[in-house]
Structure 1
Amino acid sequence: MKLLYKPLMLAIVFSIVLLTQGCVSLNKANSGASSVAISQLVIAEPLAINFKSEIAIARLSEVINRVKITDEQKAQLYYDRGVLFDSVGLRSLARLDFSHALQLEPTLTDAYNFLGIHLTQLKEFSQAYEKFDSVLELSPEHEYAHLNRGIALYYGDRPELAAQDFINFHYKQSDDPYRLLWLYLAEYEVDSVLAKKNLKQRAELVDDRTWAKQVIYLFLGSISQKEFVSELTMNISSNKALTDRLCEAYFYLGKYNQSQNNFGAAANFFKLSLSTNVYEFVEHRYARLELDLMRTKKAISIKQQDPS
């Protein structure tokens, strides 16, 4: 799912041993179910950085540094360059530009929104909440601030509040499967049984022809991982389309495997989502955070088992 505003294709069948070696020791009892899907994985060629973005960054830099313009114009250019930096994965440079933009124009809501996203990725949740609150104070109808604050609350272990933001976001477009999926993820942390009941009911509004409805079916248990993976290349005609789809699919397969306590498989799926280089997608942004949080929880668990 793109946040705001893949015929070269490499198909590889991965060996079960290679891809599941990290999860066998953790989940021997559950590895069989996940390995069925893993043995059929399709991998797209990772997206290359768009040369047009590189040229645009260079041109914006020249204007910012050499042309005499108003503070308001310069703020907009910093923001625009920050968006381009963000789109090619240069997060630190993007944050600097968003900060510069706000110093010059403190009412630039989208800059607050992006900073909130980056702070969430850095696990600076309290600061992220503040940025999204600023967006909504300046622009109460900014619907993506509800999505992004909801995600920050979800990863900040405040699922009840996250669900409220996701409900507001879902209400704006109730047939959008991605809005529905994030709402489900938050509600699942509060009451897994009720969350599945709500997901099934709300899914009736989603068009069956929409590919992402397969993700909903996966979480509902209506289809298996094997069936889900076997249909990933349906109606795909380019590497770009394939890469976009796999970025999303592997992230949600990671979340699904987490819910099944298949943590090794979940980690592999998050890594596969990251390997697509689709930097602008929500799923790519938070796959790395998922991995960071999983490592942190594992370290805490090991320390609790062996305090010495």
Structure 2
Amino acid sequence: MKVHVWINRFRTLRKLLALCVSSVAAIMLTGCQTTPESPQYVVTVPFAAPLPSDYRSEVAVARYTELIEQAELANDQQAVLYYDRGKLFESLGLTTLARIDFSRAINLKPDFAEVYNFLGIHHTLMQQYSKAYEMFDSVLELNAEHEYAYLNRGIALYYGERPELAEDDLQAFLNFAPDDPYRVLWVYLAQKAQDSQRAQTSLNNMAQALDPQNWAYKLVAYFKGDISEQDLLSSLADGVESHHEFAERLCEAYFYLAKSHQAQGHNTVASDYFKLALSTNVYEFVEYKYARLELDIMAGEGAL
């Protein structure tokens, strides 16, 4: 074959590759289309590189390991070291290692409320809801004012399909800080699992205590119907001062947008948003943790 023919083919191939790359870079969420009447979802979303591992946390893990292995400590002191190292593992996404350390800590110090709280979260993520309830009950027996035990038990009850009890706990969590948009959203989700109309009325009422200048208020405004999905996505970079902050904001927005699409029966789009939440690597956020659980549940139901 003549050289100029090869050159023309090469140029054509290069143009096609460039077109593919530019299309992928836009990152589109596309729903399934089975018939011409099926709804079509094409949402261009902002994205960021996943958060990298924090080398300082990795160094701290090594130091805690040296202390645990070399120092002669009382049980209570050793339990605290295991707890602290477990939190570091958690922040690095090493959940199995974190769970091992939390279990060691509770064996050494059975009245360690914070450890029960983390273990409860882990049981929730493994869909072991009865064990999760036991862990959170233990936290509240030791400290009735432990705010996040109410949140985490409420979430466990929500995923355990006990939304009435979940609402009680999540409302108690909201009562500690009525001006927190995220607390409002979790109460709304628990109420929506029972009665959509009541949930919407309640959301409008709860929103009155919120500051519209707080970026997270836009999440509430979206569920209220005051702004569109594209408006929410377009606002994600407003006031952001670092890549870390942007990744956190993306994680939150992706999760709640997924919940919205899920409620509408748009499972393909919801699944993609949950996956995008996981792509941020914001391991410590509630939204990251439960995006994984949501995908596990959807896979079990054959919804993916």
Q: Within the alignment, does 1:110 sit opposite 2:114 as a pair? A: yes
Which ranges of 4 or more aligned residues in structure 1 deviate by more than 2 Å? 12-16, 25-32
Partners of 2:255 and 2:55 lie apart in 1 by: 27
The aligned counterpart of 1:131 is 135
The equivalent of 2:234 in structure 1 is: 230
- How far off its partner does 1:261 sit? 1.2
Q: Structure 2: which 5+ runs fail to align?
A: 1-23
Deviation at 1:118, TM superposition (A): 0.7
Normalised by the size of structure 2, how large is the TM-score? 0.89
Within the alignment, does 1:161 sit opposite 2:168 as a pair?
A: no
Out of 266, 273, 282, the position equivalent to 2:270 is 266
Equivalent position of 1:253 in the other structure? 257
1:24 aligns with 2:38: no
Q: Would the aligned equivalents of 1:81 and 1:94 in 2 still touch at CA under 8 Å? A: yes
* Contact map agreement 1:30 1:262 (CA 8 A) in 2: no
CA contact (8 A) 2:258 2:269 kept: yes
Identity across aligned pairs (percent)?
48
Task: Tell me what 1:48 maps to.
Answer: 52
> Comparing both chains, which one has the higher relative contact order based on Cα–Cα distances under 8 Å and sequence gaps of 6 or more?
1
Taking the aligned partners of 1:27 and 1:123, their CA distance within structure 2 comes to 36
User: Offset at 1:295?
Assistant: 1.6
Deviation at 1:25, TM superposition (A): 4.0
Deviations along 1:149-192, one digit per CA (max 9) or x if unpaired, are 00000001110000000010001100000000000000000110
Measured in 2, the distance between the counterparts of 1:70 and 1:26 equals: 64
Give SS of 2:241's match. Answer: coil
Q: 2:203 aligns with which of 186, 199, 206?
A: 199
2:25, 2:237 → 1: CA distance? Answer: 14
Deviation digits for residues 46-98 of structure 1, max 9, x if unmatched?
10110000010000000001111111100000000000001100001101100
For structure 1, list consecutive stretches of 5 or more residues without a partner in the other structure: 1-11, 303-308
| Corresponding letter in the other structure for 2:54 | N
- Cα distance in 2 for partners of 1:235, 1:291 equals 31
**Distance in structure 1 (CA, Å) of the matches to 2:118 and 2:74:** 23
Question: Which one has a bigger Cα radius of gyration?
Answer: 2
Distance 1:42 1:13, change over 3 A: farther
- 2:21 equivalent in structure 1: none
Alpha-carbon shift at residue 26 of structure 1 (Å): 7.0
The residue that corresponds to 1:60 in the other structure is 64
Shift of 1:15: 5.0
Select 2:217's aligned residue among 213, 219, 224: 213
**CA distance in 1 between partners of 2:33 and 2:64 (Å):** 51
Residues of 1 paired with 2:26 and 2:170: CA distance? Answer: 36
Residues of 1 paired with 2:300 and 2:154: CA distance?
Answer: 21
Aligned length: 281
Shift of 1:31: 4.0
**Counterparts of 2:191 and 2:88 in 1: how far apart (Å)?**
34
Look up the SS of the partner of 2:301 in the other structure: helix
Task: Show the counterpart of 1:80.
Answer: 84
Going from structure 1 to structure 2, the CA distance change for 1:14 and 1:56 (only over 3 Å counts) comes to same
C-alpha contact (below 8 Å) 2:155/2:166 kept by paired residues:
yes
SS at match of 2:161: coil
State whether structure 2 residue 39 is matched by structure 1 residue 14.
Answer: no
1:186 corresponds to which residue? 190
Q: Is 203-212 or 231-240 further displaced after alignment?
A: 231-240
Counterpart of 1:197, as a letter, is T
